[in-house]
Amino acid sequence: MNSIDTGLLDNWLALWNGDYILAYRLVTNDFTVHAALLDGGDGSALNGPTGLVGWITKTRAAFPDLRFTVEVGPIADGDHVALRWVATGTYDGGFPGATARPGTPVRFTGTDFLRMAGDRIAEYWLNSDTHLLVTQLGVRP
């Protein structure tokens, strides 16, 4: 990817904003995730479009109005693209260990690194500020 395909990145954000059908056009069938997940996993079990949609759906269950926007980027280098995002939304309940009341606003940030294979995303590295999120939700160790 020599130039940044802003349409693809717009669709990537739309996918995270709840337009799940886009996963089947955006990511490869062998798409892989690299992330430190809240359940202690490393993301390796999240494969392909179906795995990605399942993860996004689970994330959005506690924050149905969660909205992702780009704060910095995108920045491209060869077949890699990076961007920093901000997520805002309202807690709706159901997050394990949360003491926050439903209706609590949340805001957290993260960085996505994407490896492209042709016109699709093949790998995804995520670094998000989950510490800030769980603090806003009142999760205690």
For position 68, which CATH number holds?
Answer: 3.10.450.50
Please tell me the predicted confidence (pLDDT) of residue 3.
Answer: 57
Residue 1 lies in a domain: no
Tens of pLDDT, residue by residue over 115-138, are: 999 999 999 999 999 889 999 999
User: Which residues does 58 contact at the CB level (< 8 Å), separation at least 6?
Assistant: none
> What's the rounded Cα separation, in Å, for the pair 85 and 81?
13
**Beta strands at 105-117 and 27-34: parallel, antiparallel or unpaired:** unpaired
Q: Are 43 and 58 in contact (CB under 8 A)?
A: no
Q: Are 56 and 20 in contact (CB under 8 A)?
A: yes
Region 17-45 average pLDDT:
87
Tens of pLDDT, residue by residue over 40-93, are: 777 777 889 999 999 999 989 999 999 999 999 899 999 999 999 999 999 999
Residue 102 lies in a domain: yes
Task: Give the domain range for residue 103.
Answer: 6-136
Q: How many alpha carbons lie under 13 Å from residue 12 in its C-beta half-sphere?
A: 26
Residue 10 lies in a domain: yes
Whether the pLDDT of residue 2 is over 70: the answer is no
Residue 86 lies in a domain: yes
Q: Torsions phi, psi of 35, nearest 5?
A: -160, 150
Residue 141 lies in a domain: no
Taking each helix axis from N to C terminus, what angle separates 6-16 and 48-61, rounded to the nearest 10 degrees? 50
Count the domains in the chain. 1
| Full-model pTM | 0.88
